[in-house]
């Protein structure tokens, strides 16, 4: 929702709106602060966690540089994260095939699905989300400050996912549930927010998403959620958030009208710092994205009616 910016970190700027028929087409603003990302998350049946991601940026020498990375966190043991970087002439978008290719990595629309393939030196993933991309802008987005903005579209809110992952720590055929979003900005991310918290329960039989956004200073926090019966996310009306703080990140509850939602984490999965983990590309982006850290957990959410939903919970914090 960078994310991440990449959940934090990797957002992008637009001079014109994304067209529904081309949701995978990057559009640079030409601004030095421009960045853009496509991020897939997968919560697998065996307890593993996968993240696949593209990053595009104008930071530093040369415009529209790209990065492709993959992360796998197995059920036990440490995760493995690896990325690769590319110049503008090493990536392309094929409008006929509806495919965005970055080096040997490919994100492609198909008639009834979306595929994301990542291949780096020691990491290879080939995942299929069994649902088509239908861009859904988040309520109260884009976030704006003057002419700068930060915009997010959810392309697939939840879907079954199948495929394979190969890495030094984990190699097998996989299945579970997934999500993908597209973030864009042409702004200094710390001017938009210095913290996010978000939950993604991705089982299509029992889905639920929510996010809170913390602007800098003493501005009012805002939030949205996406309920199972809804066809789009909706803003939370004057939510009263308890917990989810820096000092108490692992438990929270919030009230939306007369409804109470409770969250509790069950396992720490991964901590990610794009400035460090993306190498030179991350260092070039630091003046625009700050120095964010995203921490991901397995967690459960309990709704007002007692329904329990398992999913992925993230806290993203930009260092002061």
> 296 near 273, Cβ under 8 Å?
no
Q: Is the pLDDT of residue 9 over 50?
A: no
Half-sphere exposure in the Cβ direction for 148 (13 Å, CA): 17
Note every long-range contact of 272-275, with CB atoms under 8 Å and residues 24 or more positions apart, other chains counting: 272/4, 272/6, 272/7, 272/71, 272/81, 272/296, 274/2, 274/4, 274/5, 274/6, 274/8, 274/9, 274/10, 275/9
> 234 near 225, Cβ under 8 Å?
yes
Alpha helix locations (H) across 255-297? Answer: 274-277, 279-289
Alpha helix locations (H) across 46-115? Answer: none
CATH class of the domain whose range is 3-318? mainly beta
Residue with tokens 């109260």: 140
Mean pLDDT, residues 180-208 taken together: 87
Other Cβ atoms closer than 10 A to 51: 27
Q: Between 290 and 50, whose confidence is greater? A: 50
pLDDT single digits (tens) 88-102: 999 999 999 999 999
Q: Is the pLDDT of residue 275 over 80?
A: no
Give domain limits for the chain. Answer: 3-318
Tokens of 131: 């649902």
pLDDT (0 to 100) of residue 145: 64
Q: Is the pLDDT of residue 69 over 70?
A: yes
Residues present in the chain in total: 320
């Amino acid at each position: 929702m960078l994310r991440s910016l990449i959940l934090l970190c990797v957002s992008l700027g637009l001079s014109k709106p994304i067209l529904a028929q081309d949701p995978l087409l990057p559009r640079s603003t030409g601004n030095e602060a421009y960045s853009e990302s496509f991020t897939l998350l997968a919560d697998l049946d065996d307890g593993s966690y996968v993240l696949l991601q593209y990053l595009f940026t104008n930071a530093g020498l040369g415009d529209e540089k790209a990065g492709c990375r993959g992360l796998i966190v197995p059920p036990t043991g440490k995760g493995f994260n690896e990325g690769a970087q590319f110049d503008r002439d090493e990536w392309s978008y094929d409008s006929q095939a509806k495919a965005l290719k970055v080096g040997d990595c490919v994100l492609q629309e198909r008639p009834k699905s979306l595929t994301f393939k990542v291949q780096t030196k020691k990491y290879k993933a080939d995942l299929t989300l069994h649902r088509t991309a239908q861009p859904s802008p988040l309520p109260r987005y884009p976030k704006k400050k003057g002419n700068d903005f930060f915009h997010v579209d959810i392309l697939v809110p939840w879907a079954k996912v199948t495929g394979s992952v190969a890495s030094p720590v984990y190699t097998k055929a996989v299945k579970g549930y997934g999500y993908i979003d597209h973030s864009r900005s042409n702004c200094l991310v710390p001017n938009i927010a210095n913290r996010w918290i978000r939950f993604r329960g991705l089982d299509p039989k029992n889905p639920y998403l929510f996010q809170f956004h913390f602007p800098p200073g003493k501005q009012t926090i805002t939030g949205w959620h996406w309920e199972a019966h809804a066809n789009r996310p909706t803003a939370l009306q004057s939510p009263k958030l308890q917990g989810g703080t820096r000092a108490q990140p692992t438990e929270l509850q919030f009230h939306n009208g007369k409804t109470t939602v409770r969250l509790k984490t069950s396992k720490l999965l991964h901590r990610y710092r794009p400035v460090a983990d993306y190498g030179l590309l991350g260092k070039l982006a630091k003046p625009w994205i700050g120095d964010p850290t995203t921490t991901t957990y397995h967690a459960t959410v309990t709704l007002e009616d007692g329904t329990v939903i398992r999913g992925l919970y993230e806290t993203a914090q930009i260092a002061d």
